[in-house]
Structure 1
Amino acid sequence: MKNILGALASTAIAAAIGMMAVSGAGAAEFVAKIGHLESDQQSRHVHLEKVAELVAERTGGAVEFQIYPQGQLGQQREMTEGVQLGTLEATVAPAAFLGGFNPAVSILDIPYLLPADDEAAQAIRSGAFGEALCDSFDTRGVECITLWPNGRKNFTSNEPLADLDDFAGQKFRVMDSNILIEQFNALGASAIALPFGELYTALQTGVVDGQENPLDTIQRMKFYEVQEHLVLSNHGAMEDVVLFNPAFWQSLPEEHRTTIVEAFNEVIPDLIEHKAAAVDAALEEIKAAGMNVRELSDEEKAAFREKMYPAARAAYIERAGEEGEQLIAIYEKEYETAAE
């Protein structure tokens, strides 16, 4: 019996050693932990997994991405600082959460910044404007490699929103951004900066009349339970910024860096499609809940942009200074080209 047990033990040890050898032989040379805030069902995570698959395949397994959703590695500020310090290799961060870290990126708070057409918007995102915006992170100790679309904001309120004039006198919750505050001031409304976690109760109790968010956020947070009117304005671009730790990024061979950037950009059309499907499903649930839903015409959107853009632009330049002025100049040239 001892001989049999000894033989079995030796076999098990040999098998374990063999498995370790196989595992070691296939181990990635470069491993990047990537943290973000969304759930594993949402568009950002689904497409980060697709990027991870593409990168692993195209680098022959040399580069491995380990994706951590739902703030498992901390809130966005902690993850951004982790990337800066090198305790985290990368994060995909909402631009709206990065304004305190890099004032230049707050240009993305400006309403109607990107054209409604997805291809025209992507041309701006991937062109000289997107490149200049990414370059603004160089002096902040992180490496921006691309921008990712993540939907657009819409208005809701407990008061009627039948036309532009109806916004006057209403109170809207915003993130803590002077640009967003000026956006509402331009409409004759007032803006109140409140933490997101307090928004449902603030809408329910009348502390604020309305708010702005993407449709899937409105649906997921059940704001339709405490709001009567929804305007499909698509006025605010929700953009993500893909940030890597510079030391990790520079440690990668150039061909791997190229592969990673190409993979992130390659999945953007699928990312847009996946987000659109989520938005469509959210809208159906919102309508079923009984909200009064109205879609702005192209003419109305132009009127909203004419009202809001100049005030938000001025607030942005005041915040971002000369760097902001330069970025605005690049953007406006790109926007004119995209509109032609």
Structure 2
Amino acid sequence: MKCNKFLKGISLSVVWITLSICSVSANENAAEVWRFGLEEIEGSVQDIYAQAFKRKIEDKSQGEIVVEIYSYGMLGESEDLTNLTANGTLQLTHASVGILGAQIPEAQVFTIPYLFSNNDDHNQAVLANNPAIYEILGNALIDQDLRLMTLYLEGDMVWSTNKLIRKPSDFAQFKMRVMNSSLVIKTFELLGATAIPMPYSQVYGSLQAHIVNGQTNPIFSIEEMKFYEVTEYLIWAGQQKFTTSVLANQAWYLALPAPHKLILNETIEELTPYIFEQQIALNNTQLAAIKKSKPSMALIRLTKKEQALFKTISTPIRQQFIQNSGQPGQRLLEALDKALATEK
């Protein structure tokens, strides 16, 4: 097995849960069970995706396959889900590219500031179909016993803060919670903030206790985790879009019977336009919910001129990415720049 890097991160509690799942699976004789791990809670974008996936797979297989969904927290943190998929305990998982980038440097390409175009239809088409992604990133994941099934957007990364941020100097003495991604950490340091990586589950309490002064996530996440309750501003800076992947265990995928593999691949393809529309609707609905719950929340959309300042100051991140990921990463970045440039 090549997943040793991933296995090092599994906590004792997750190992206990793993053993429990394996014990239960030994008694599952009526149907083949596919276990799907989520980085997010019930009702989230990933949950909407997984529930639709479950309905389609179970319907198409006519009861031959049962999909079990494990929401955020049931099997540990995001890193644990990737570990469990690499070792075959889970068959499928969501893995955000920032988290995935800790082990697969090429995956951090999607965290480069201002990489994407302003046309999300085009962005999603590139994520779903660009061959360079599935060759370069796909091969890197195979080396970790993982298979890249698809990538999709979950919405704009919005800064929720307790201070108005309109220019880089506003980040002075500001502590921003970030995911544990070296490129994201470096980005906010360049912008002038102190970047503090911490688990998703600790963000609300850290905002409430002023351990951090802000965080960044899509609107649906800010609403469902109630981050808006402990911040005063929502700021659309255009810096990044939350990008997630669907991963499978590589050995499991290769061993699937041909009919089941066909069902899986067809379902993944069918869900691409579905989840794109669903995430737009959910982010709009949750923004309305935030406005209703907290009318005083300030909604700030940076102008193109303001965004340009942040884009310029964060330009060194591109070279840092190439340094971290080498020639494969450079090829991937060049391919994405070319594919996305038509809609800039």
TM-score by length of 2: 0.80
Aligned residue pair count: 313
Seen in structure 2, the aligned counterparts of structure 1 residues 131 and 208 have a Cα distance that, compared at 3 Å, is same
Which has the higher mean CA deviation after the structures are superposed, 241-250 or 126-135? Answer: 126-135
Structure 2 unaligned regions, length at least 5: 1-27
Segments ≥4 residues shifted beyond 4 Å: none
Return the alpha-carbon distance in structure 1 between the equivalents of residues 278 and 264 of structure 2: 21
Match of 1:136 in 2: 140
> How many Å separate the matches in 2 of 1:129 and 1:337?
17
Partner of 1:311: 316
Q: Secondary structure at the match of 1:67?
A: strand
Letter in 2 for 1:65: V
How far, CA to CA, are the matches of 2:278 and 2:266 in structure 1? 19
* Maintained 8 Å contact 1:91/1:244: yes
Tell me the CA shift for residue 125 of structure 1.
0.1
Partner of 2:193: 189
| Residue 336 of structure 1 pairs with residue 341 of structure 2 | yes
1:155 and 2:167 aligned = no
Offset of residue 163 of structure 1: 4.2
Q: Could you tell me how far apart the structure 1 residues matched to 2:224 and 2:252 are?
A: 36
Shift of 1:179: 1.2
Q: Does 1:92 align with 2:90?
A: no
Alignment partner, residue 78 of structure 1: 80
- Match in the other structure for 2:249: 245
User: What pairs up with 1:215-254 in 2 under 5 angstroms?
Assistant: 215-254=219-258
What is the rounded CA distance, in whole Å, between the counterparts of 2:188 and 2:62 in structure 1? 51
Gaps of 5+ in 1: 1-22
Alignment partner of 2:302 out of 296, 306, 325: 296
Write the distance in 2 (CA, Å) between the matches of 1:119 and 1:174.
27
Paired with 2:250 and 2:213, the residues of 1 have a C-alpha distance of: 44
Contact map agreement 1:115 1:121 (CA 8 A) in 2: yes
Post-superposition offset of 1:282: 2.5
Change (3 A) 1:68 1:216: same
Letter of the 2:87 partner, please give it: L
Task: Summarize deviations over 1:270-317 as a string: whole Å, max 9, x none.
Answer: 222222222223222333411111123445445533432x22222222
Aligned to 2:14: none
Whole-angstrom CA distance in 1 between matches of 2:34 and 2:103: 22
Distance 1:338 1:222, change over 3 A: same
Structure 1 residues 223 and 47: CA distance shift in structure 2, 3 A = closer
Letter in 1 for 2:121: E
Contact 1:128 1:334 in 2 (8 A): no
Q: What amino acid does structure 1 have at the position aligned with 2:273?
A: P
1:323 partner SS: helix
Change (3 A) 1:63 1:115: farther
With over 3 angstroms needed to count, the CA separation of the structure-2 counterparts of 1:160 and 1:58, relative to structure 1, is same
Partner of 2:11: none
Q: Once the two structures are aligned, what percentage of the paired residues are identical? A: 29
Q: Secondary structure at the match of 1:272?
A: helix
Q: Any idea what the Cα deviations from partners look like across 1:86-145, whole Å, max 9, x if unmatched? A: 222221222222222322212222222322322111122021243132332111111111
- Contact 1:146 1:264 (8 Å CA) reproduced: yes
Aligned positions of 1:261-280 closer than 5 A: 261-280=265-284
Cα distance in 2 for partners of 1:274, 1:217 equals 14
Mark the CA change 1:208 to 1:37 in structure 2 (over 3 Å): closer, same or farther: closer
Aligned counterparts of 1:265 and 1:291: Cα–Cα separation in 2: 38
Give the drift of 1:201: 4.0
CA distance in 2, matches of 1:270, 1:174: 29
Contact 2:147–2:248 (CA under 8 A) maintained in structure 1: yes
Flag the 1:321–1:79 CA change in 2: closer, same or farther, 3 A.
Answer: same
Q: CA RMSD in A?
A: 2.7
**Residues 203/323 of structure 1: CA separation in 2 closer, same or farther (3 Å cut):** same
Structure 1: distance between partners of 2:306 and 2:242: 21
* Contact 1:287-1:293 at 8 Å conserved across structures: no
Partners in 1 of 2:57 and 2:282 — Cα distance? 26
Q: Would the aligned equivalents of 1:146 and 1:261 in 2 still touch at CA under 8 Å? A: no
Asked if 1 retains the 8 angstrom alpha-carbon contact of 2:161 and 2:232, the reply is yes
Please point out which of 101, 104, 108 is paired with 1:102.
104
Structure-2 residue corresponding to 1:11: none
| Alpha-carbon offset, residue 195 of structure 1 | 3.8
CA distance in 1, matches of 2:142, 2:323: 21
Asked if structure 2 preserves the Cα contact closer than 8 Å seen for 1:233 and 1:301, the reply is: yes
C-alpha contact (below 8 Å) 2:41/2:71 kept by paired residues: yes
Match of 2:127 among 125, 128, 135: 125
